Structure 1
């Protein structure tokens, strides 16, 4: 690759990052409805055709933002899991990290798990970061699974955490019972493995 091609690739990558960052910023401050190609064009000072050369519409932009989110979530989940003293403490720390991430980054969480994107989940063609994120769920529940199928248990824990995050994020749950809900989740996973 020539020096000129390398420069073009670096410039393209920088534009891509700038667009993703701008979309995320708009979504976090004003919601995803405010993220339009026109609005992004104005914010990053590139024409709409330049945006379309990077992304196939809003779904592609949301997928790029979501991919960044999975990198961040995976790091937070891994840190919580590996920083715990035992498997039960790891599950609790993991759940707290997941719910804390959703609470701290509501628009990012929405891009990852609510909006339609071009990302494929649970297939051989899934992006590697999605597989890596799910591997954190597997690593967390495996020591507690007992005779249960680890993949199914991981999906159940993920589904439960997603439900809690979604309901909490829309103020549907009583905040004073958050610790109790988390304790019931952990106890249910632990006692079911015996």
Structure 2
């Protein structure tokens, strides 16, 4: 059922995903779908969780790929990018794109998979800050600024809002991330 919802989204966009269309795709009745998912939103939430589970796996692999904290952050950036373009339908659900939204991070109902993703990104940033001797009071600011850069360029590349498309934007993201890390590591304490 989840694969059917993703296929419909890939073909027609998330607005086209309905329990009726999912039922047609898997050749069952709509009440059968409701036996598993109470609504379209429940299907989307299951896909959001699935997406973050998959993202955490690739981010953990990137985290473990090197002992150098800066290379680790860059590897995790590449893994995030690659995931987004390998699974754009999941990425859209996970980040509230195409009219799909599940509230805000940090609320009690935030799925554990989202929290795991953030914790892993935070741990990588903590290691980088400690290795570089960066003085910054709020690590959350660094993690969220980094995530904002990654997500912003992915979103612009997905929507073809930057000339050259994803082929040009991925190296641009990597270089911009290096520049950001350099700037953070060379700024004067406040």
Q: TM-score range by the shorter chain?
A: 0.7 to 0.9
Work out the CA distance in 2 between the residues paired with 1:112 and 1:131. Answer: 12
User: Structure 1 residue 169: deviation in Å?
Assistant: 0.5
Residue of structure 1 equivalent to 2:60: 78
After superposition, the CA RMSD in angstroms is 2.0
Residue of structure 2 equivalent to 1:44: 26
CA-to-partner distance for each residue in 1:48-77, whole Å, 9 max, x for gaps?
Answer: 122223323222211111110101011111
Give the conservation status (yes or no) of the 8 Å contact 2:2–2:43. yes
The answer to whether 1:138 aligns with 2:122 is yes
Give the conservation status (yes or no) of the 8 Å contact 2:126–2:139. yes
In structure 1, list runs of 5 or more residues that go unmatched: 1-18
Work out the CA distance in 1 between the residues paired with 2:182 and 2:72. Answer: 12
SS for the counterpart of 1:84 is: coil
Residue of structure 2 equivalent to 1:125: 109
In structure 2, list runs of 5 or more residues that go unmatched: none
Q: TM-score, normalised by structure 2?
A: 0.83
User: Structure 1 residue 177: deviation in Å?
Assistant: 5.2
Work out the CA distance in 2 between the residues paired with 1:24 and 1:60. Answer: 14
Name the count of aligned residue pairs.
Answer: 176
Structure with the bigger percentage of helix: 1
Q: TM-score, normalised by structure 1?
A: 0.81
Work out the CA distance in 1 between the residues paired with 2:127 and 2:148. Answer: 19
